[in-house]
Amino acid sequence: MIDLDKHKAMANAIRVLAIDAVEAAKSGHPGMPMGTADIATVLFSSVIKVDPSLPDWPDRDRFVLSAGHGSMLLYSVLHLLGYEDFSTEELKRFRQLGARTAGHPEYGHGAGIETTTGPLGQGISTAVGMALAERMMNARYGDDLVDHRTYVIASDGDLMEGISHEAISLAGHLRLNRLIVLYDDNQISIDGPLDLSESGDALKRFEAAGWNASRIDGHNASDILAALEAAKTSDKPTLIACRTTIGYGSPNKAGTSASHGSPLGAAEAAAARDALDWHAEPFEIPADVRDAWRIAGLRSGHARKAWEKKYQSLHPDERAEFDRQIRGDLPPSFSAAMEKLRGEIGRERPTLATRKASENVLAAVNAEIPETVGGSADLTGSNNTKTKDLEVLTADNYGGRYIHWGVREQGMAAAMNGMALHGGLIPYGGTFLVFTDYCRPAIRLAALMGVRVVYVMTHDSIGLGEDGPTHQPVEHLAALRAMPNLVVLRPADALETAEAWEIALERKEGPTLLALTRQNCPAVRGEESHGNRSKRGAYEVAASGEPAVVSLFATGSEVGLAVKAKGLLDMEGIPTRVVSVPSFELFERQSADYRGEVIGDASIKVGIEAAVRMGWDRLIGTDGIFVGMTGFGASAPYEELYEHFGITPEAVVALVKARMADA
Amino acid sequence: MIDLDKHKAMANAIRVLAIDAVEAAKSGHPGMPMGTADIATVLFSSVIKVDPSLPDWPDRDRFVLSAGHGSMLLYSVLHLLGYEDFSTEELKRFRQLGARTAGHPEYGHGAGIETTTGPLGQGISTAVGMALAERMMNARYGDDLVDHRTYVIASDGDLMEGISHEAISLAGHLRLNRLIVLYDDNQISIDGPLDLSESGDALKRFEAAGWNASRIDGHNASDILAALEAAKTSDKPTLIACRTTIGYGSPNKAGTSASHGSPLGAAEAAAARDALDWHAEPFEIPADVRDAWRIAGLRSGHARKAWEKKYQSLHPDERAEFDRQIRGDLPPSFSAAMEKLRGEIGRERPTLATRKASENVLAAVNAEIPETVGGSADLTGSNNTKTKDLEVLTADNYGGRYIHWGVREQGMAAAMNGMALHGGLIPYGGTFLVFTDYCRPAIRLAALMGVRVVYVMTHDSIGLGEDGPTHQPVEHLAALRAMPNLVVLRPADALETAEAWEIALERKEGPTLLALTRQNCPAVRGEESHGNRSKRGAYEVAASGEPAVVSLFATGSEVGLAVKAKGLLDMEGIPTRVVSVPSFELFERQSADYRGEVIGDASIKVGIEAAVRMGWDRLIGTDGIFVGMTGFGASAPYEELYEHFGITPEAVVALVKARMADA
């Protein structure tokens, strides 16, 4: 049973800290933490399994504040529970440069922040991936080692975002009964009362997606506790709609959007303190309240220690494997296996679509790394993401390693973030490159958080052919290359595809995107190669006999085209070299010397890519010749499209000769 | 009552044309048209109000094939109804270069294609905008002139996409009872049976969003007709889930994903013809079937003529205004009004956030152009999109001109496409620039279709401040500039903001995006200006006294910074000029002479933009100095962020002097 006086004081501590921090910052969102303080208090003092003394304990429950603008809720709770990273000083530095207490929770800023949230809808969708990862790890290691839940506080805005549909239908379909969403049902949006823009039935919506759903008074601690306890035994994911008053405690702003996104102001802050019967100085917590929270913070110590015992009693090999997967290290044998594979491909020199080459590489990768998890947004046969040995994951078999995500690019990308954040798994997922537009908000979060997710994006140009311009990326490579901390790789052939996978998997510090062809690509390199040349981003793949007059730079399927153009130019007596550029980002990180050497000093530089020019001037200069796209594609067999848009060896030769005639 | 034999033959005509065209193209999606042929036959032969002899008749019903991969369904129907653009020859050229019959329906390729569909989820969401536009135009012109419906055929994939949630909740909230969605409930996805990835209750889901929903046998013509007739009298939008068999008629592939995305193959195509009791040659339609379809095509001629009469009886002024709005021409007074406004701003030289300047411009624009429709994805007060005179649109007042879209960036962007396609309205809508990531799939379609939609994207850099990196765009300007046929404008001050709006509204051939600041910007130009200088994309805003040694190029809030840097450099005796670059795309379209003149020949070129460098080498060259961002932003007051990331006049001066010392 809940001691209501104590509960009230504990909840008010959250409210007042939120008020104080927002006032100090002169910026922030007090309304949400004030409204959800009762929910958070019950959750963190009586339900959730976390240990502030060991915040990264693998079997902890996960908490996601999907309504990230209410970040002071999370910071206050972590502070009160005793998380070292969230001292009073940090609370006072809310929203200041270098503080752990950023405007929205930023993953990596402090222990206890399980994911970055801010773009509405992403948190709840990321949580689906966490809840799924828990079941998958449970299937691998059993209840002794993996037995936790994922709790979410989500807002009206989270549920209005389209991605939430993909997330909740996935969770329902996969029966993720350890996912529990507390919906801050406050009936207020930024523009005003929610009914300005929303009149749906949230409970019915979640039920339709296969969830349990109920509505409670979000300020009634007993009801909150009862609902959470019921949720823990549910056979489905659970939505608890908690009717709350935004800005609860603010005499004049509670229940209105005025409390949402601005400080209450000194007068109203004082009035709220009075109304809450709170008489401590700003940022001060009365000893009894602080004690109550610290005791709450100690609650799961016993469970954590019990877990440690089970963990210690594992067979050392199993423990080592568990640790390795949780750390995210690759198996020690991985490098040698990839070197062997590269050697084989180099000798064989196959002509393959790079999506098919990717499937071949994955067969080796999935055999070597048991923690990879594949999937596709309903394009399995096109993305070549399913290798034969991968069992399909279902609600009845979380041991599967392949996920049919459905036509849910957004949900897939966000859930992959959650799986990577959870730890123990390396997710990769596919769709057509053009549909990275749907994945982009989640890709951005992966890049911002620095988590290892691999995107297998096939049909990467007009080479897609007949499906036409809605399915043909032209601006996507540029748009993705623009994103910080995302590495985009567009391999030229089967060998570069193997190199790309090696780079992607070794890269723990962020996401990697592979842009792969639908159509066949000849081998541009062979067994003379040693080492992973793609790691440097660009390299000379074909030298000129004499000092080069022409340098051809190309990526992916256009490298083979460049090699052909070189053949034609050589025949005309024009010394030409070819540079393959699998990754702009990796090349940008090389030394000035290496860059200068690869770019070279040929007087005519040509960039070739079946995409827009944006970004290419960096390599070929403003006077470089660019052979690519200037607008959207078209529907036709792909060879005709290359011809139609002038992306051919002959077109390259003609442009080079015209430039030479001008000179 | 439906003549079932005739119906069957008419439906089979669609099926066989789809088979024939896909076989001829050796590529395409036969299963969907074969499965939905009965639905389409009933809809187009007994229900929909269209006139093939006047396909652009403003009061026609709209039809959206959201499942655009089933394009042969649409082409077959348009052909059979007698739309001139879709001759037998065109059907034979399915998916060939230059054909009207592209792989997915492409707006502009032929009359009868109301929107481009292909990316799943977009069609149904665009249709919401069409249905809303109908009600809005009805509120303005009455039942005599505007009284039509929007029909959609949507697939499982459409409904799995997250954007569909935003669309259906909007439609329910706005009670768009003239929106009727026929859901091709075939229980098959590309990866296999739908239950691989989906187990939700679609009817319950739509009901939760405020729709009527029912399920029927999608091969029973009478049931289809009855459901459609009921839908026409509904007070809510309607979902009709039509249980169909994908590939209906194919003896060995019906009901499986094998019929989805590949030709049936010669043998199975022949078997299907037999099964359908169809004995005509490929692309041939027996005379009786052709006659039945032609009669269907004549069905609404009477209604169309009746409408013409009402239209002709309008007061000539009202008719002229209706015509003008449908044509999309601006009021003749617009240019003079904008010139006057620009003059006023030039004299006043206000220091304003460009989002606030935009609001001021909009006050004039909305007074001048009655067909503008404003809105925001729940950031009205931040985007400054609502001018005082705009009434809020609700389900009870379609006469309103301001839409509270809710937290539905995707749905807003797609619905704006639908409004623009419908005709008669000019939609603009706002969110934070960073959330263009959510809008991107719909923005791309606006660009591909070439429709006039204006995006008011505020908080366009780290200038957003404390909300931190999830809310601070750094790569978005580059990513948007990469998109063909989108014009991105980042105005420097109030005057350029007025110029940007003028450009956006005059631009009928595509979408325009305004990137606007949260923070104040000083005026960089004044009353000496005449004409809209932003139209050329870039221009010298401050000249150097002597021949320039340094050219500073900047956009938006960084132009003021560049002007300050010029002041400092001038004091150091370093002749410096400043170029404002409101639009890369518009500048790219200028003559080589103008471009050369603006870029100039100063030995040191500096680009300044609080964003990534991608795209800037085009202006400043690979050896240009770039002052901007190299990674994600941070949470802090914005002045501190500019300082922290080294985007200050002093940093510009230091880098220029270091370069001069190197030289």
C-alpha B103, offset from chain centre: 20
Q: Which residues contact B287 (CB under 8 A, 6 or more apart)?
A: none
Token readout for A616 is 């290419």
Q: Is A646 left (phi over 0), alpha (psi -120 to 50) or beta?
A: left
Q: Which 3-state string (H, E, C) describes B214-226?
A: EEEECCCHHHHHH
- Structure ipTM over 0.95, yes or no: yes
Q: E strands within B206-250?
A: 212-217, 238-243
- Which residues of chain A from 64 to 123 reach within 8 Å of chain B, CB to CB? 68-69, 95-99, 102-104, 106, 116-121
Catalytic residue positions of A, numbered: 409
Query: In A349-483, where does DSSP find H-type helix?
Result: 354-368, 380-383, 409-422, 436-449, 476-481
pLDDT of residue A348: 95
Per-residue pLDDT averaged across A407-434, rounded? 98
Q: Is B95 left (phi over 0), alpha (psi -120 to 50) or beta?
A: left
Residues of A in contact with B442 (CB under 8 A): none
Out of B204, B445, B621, whose CB is closest to A207? B204
User: Which of B187, B216, B158 is CA-nearest to residue B42?
Assistant: B216
Is a pLDDT exceeding 70 seen at residue B144?
yes
Residues of B in contact with A408 (CB under 8 A): 160-162, 197
A156 labelled binding-site residue: yes
Query: What's the Cα-to-Cα distance from A507 to each of A206, A494, A586, B619, rounded to whole Å?
Result: 37, 20, 12, 33
A335 labelled binding-site residue: no
pLDDT in tens, B301-322: 999 999 999 999 999 999 999 9
Give the annotated binding-site residues of B for Mg(2+): 156, 186, 188
pLDDT of residue A2: 87
Token readout for A109 is 């800023």
pLDDT of residue B1: 74
Per-residue pLDDT averaged across A223-235, rounded? 98
pLDDT band for position A637 (50/70/90)?
very high
pLDDT band for position A530 (50/70/90)?
confident
Contact state of B104 with A621 under an 8 Å Cβ cutoff: no
pLDDT in tens, B55-102: 999 999 999 999 999 999 999 999 999 999 999 999 999 999 999 999
Check if A465 contacts B (Cβ < 8 Å). yes
Q: Residues B529-567, buried b or exposed e (16+ Cβ, 10 A)?
A: beebbbbbbbbbbbebeeebbbbbbbbbbbbbbbbbbbe
Structural contact between residues B606 and B581, judged by C-beta atoms closer than 8 angstroms: no
pLDDT of residue B529: 63
pLDDT of residue A529: 63
Contact state of A634 with B485 under an 8 Å Cβ cutoff: no
Is a pLDDT exceeding 90 seen at residue A434?
yes
- Of the residues A397, A407, A614, the best mutation for testing chain B's interface (the one with the most B CB atoms within 10 Å of its CB) is A407
Out of B198, B617, B634, whose CB is closest to A617? B617
Residues of B in contact with A263 (CB under 8 A): none
Q: Is B351 left (phi over 0), alpha (psi -120 to 50) or beta?
A: beta
Contact state of B118 with A471 under an 8 Å Cβ cutoff: yes
pLDDT band for position B526 (50/70/90)?
confident
**Percent of chain B residues topping a pLDDT of 70:** 100
Per-residue pLDDT averaged across A279-303, rounded? 97
Per-residue pLDDT averaged across B318-338, rounded? 97
Token readout for B244 is 């169909």
Per-residue pLDDT averaged across B150-172, rounded? 98
To 5 degrees, how large is the angle CA B552–CA B581–CA A613? 100
Is a pLDDT exceeding 90 seen at residue B530?
no
What's the rounded Cα separation, in Å, for the pair A392 and A384?
Answer: 14
A69 labelled binding-site residue: yes
Per-residue pLDDT averaged across B606-615, rounded? 98
Check if B412 contacts A (Cβ < 8 Å). no
Total residue count of chain B as it appears in this document? 663
pLDDT band for position B473 (50/70/90)?
very high
CA A385, A391, A392, A397 dihedral sign is negative
Check if A384 contacts B (Cβ < 8 Å). no
Tally of CA atoms within 13 A in the half-sphere of B595 that contains its CB: 14
pLDDT in tens, A174-228: 999 999 999 999 999 999 999 999 999 999 999 999 999 999 999 999 999 999 9
pLDDT band for position A114 (50/70/90)?
very high
**Percent of chain B residues topping a pLDDT of 90:** 98
Query: What's the Cα-to-Cα distance from A563 to each of A346, A496, A523, rounded to whole Å?
Result: 17, 15, 10
Q: Is A590 left (phi over 0), alpha (psi -120 to 50) or beta?
A: beta
Q: Residues A234-248, buried b or exposed e (16+ Cβ, 10 A)?
A: eebbbbbbbbbbbbb
Is a pLDDT exceeding 90 seen at residue B411?
yes
Check if A589 contacts B (Cβ < 8 Å). no
Per-residue pLDDT averaged across B344-369, rounded? 97
pLDDT band for position B518 (50/70/90)?
very high
Helix (H) or strand (E) holding A182: strand A179-185
Contact state of A438 with B435 under an 8 Å Cβ cutoff: no
The residue of chain B with its CA nearest to that of A612 is B482
pLDDT in tens, A450-506: 999 999 999 999 999 999 999 999 999 999 999 999 999 999 999 999 999 999 999
Contact state of B169 with A120 under an 8 Å Cβ cutoff: no
Structural contact between residues B361 and B389, judged by C-beta atoms closer than 8 angstroms: no
What's the rounded Cα separation, in Å, for the pair A579 and A582?
Answer: 10
Check if A640 contacts B (Cβ < 8 Å). yes
Check if B393 contacts A (Cβ < 8 Å). no
Catalytic residue chosen out of the listed positions B268, B409, B558, B585: B409
Q: Rounded to 5 degrees, what are φ and ψ at A385? A: -95, -15
The per-residue DSSP string of B54-119 comes to STT-TTSPEEEESSGGGHHHHHHHHHHHT-TTS-HHHHHTTT-TT-SS-SS--TTSSTT--S---S
